[in-house]
Amino acid sequence: MPSGARIQSMFSGIAKRYDLLNHVLSLGCDLYWWRRMARASRAKPGDLILDVAAGTGDSTLALARAGATVISSDFTLDMLKLGPPKFRHARHGRRVRASIGADAQHLPFQAASFDGLTICYGVRNLEDRPKAFREFHRVLKPGGRLTILEFNQPRWAWLRALYGLYSRFILPRVGEWISGSTQAYEYLPESIRNFPDRGALAAELSQAGFQEIRWNDLTGGITVLHLGRKPLA
């Protein structure tokens, strides 16, 4: 896996065009996936949600539409500059309380601060997943819900072959062309191939203290929605 410093450098380099990259390279499926993530989080009015790896803020706004107050965060400040313009013009942007830079391995919040935590397409970029999951557990209130949206290997062989071809050859080249950066998404094919399977990730969440862990495949397993809950006691 690429180092945290390399990931931060790469995202800083493509930040200005990341919004376009998101929609083009996901073939528009990201809009559907974000809505599913927001529903699965069970965000409701009065909840305080931390959206880690929020990127351009679309996942944050999906949560705000449910009535929750959302704190939007990401690994680099360059990425966080993209969300506020959307928040200012969006109907539900007033529910986005803050936009901060945060290291997912050590979130700058007190224990039991949040009713829910979401992380979209950021788990594969964590240098130390078990440590990050323990940190997620720490900042959630008892009963708080963790929702993870992440790429994975599609479950059908033919779709794995097509998606492997797309992620290995087409995606990096198109990403480079759109962003103007030779580093754009060059890490993604390797990170998708090396991403832990559903059972392995569930075991890591369990070791971090989460319960009621389950997952749902989206779009043939290209994206997987992982769910866990911090126990009440």
CA distance 1 to 3: 6
Instruction: Print the domain residue range for 173.
Output: 4-229
The tokens describing 6, both together, are: 């390399």
103 secondary structure, DSSP code = B
Instruction: Assign 110 to helix, strand or coil.
Output: coil
For residue 9, the model assigns a pLDDT of 64
* Residue 217, domain CATH: 3.40.50.150
10-residue averages of pLDDT along the chain (233 residues): 57 65 73 90 94 86 92 80 79 85 85 95 85 96 96 87 85 78 69 79 96 93 93 90
Cβ atoms within 10 Å, residue 173: 12
For residue 169, the model assigns a pLDDT of 83
| Number of structural domains in the chain | 1
For residue 207, the model assigns a pLDDT of 97
Question: Which single residue is written with the structure tokens 């539409």?
Answer: 65
For residue 172, the model assigns a pLDDT of 79
| Spatial CA neighbour of 71 closest among 111, 26, 116, 22 | 116
Instruction: Assign 184 to helix, strand or coil.
Output: coil
β-bridge pairing 114-120 and 69-74: unpaired
pTM of the predicted model, to two decimals? 0.88
| Spatial CA neighbour of 14 closest among 200, 226, 176, 171 | 176
CA distance 218 to 160: 14
CA distance 171 to 141: 39
Q: Which strand (E) or helix (H) includes residue 22?
A: helix 18-25
The b-or-e profile of 56-94 (16+ CB within 10 A means b, else e) is bbbbbbbbbbbebbbbbbbbbebbbebbeebbeebebbe
Yes or no: say if 124 and 195 are a contact pair by the CB < 8 Å rule: yes
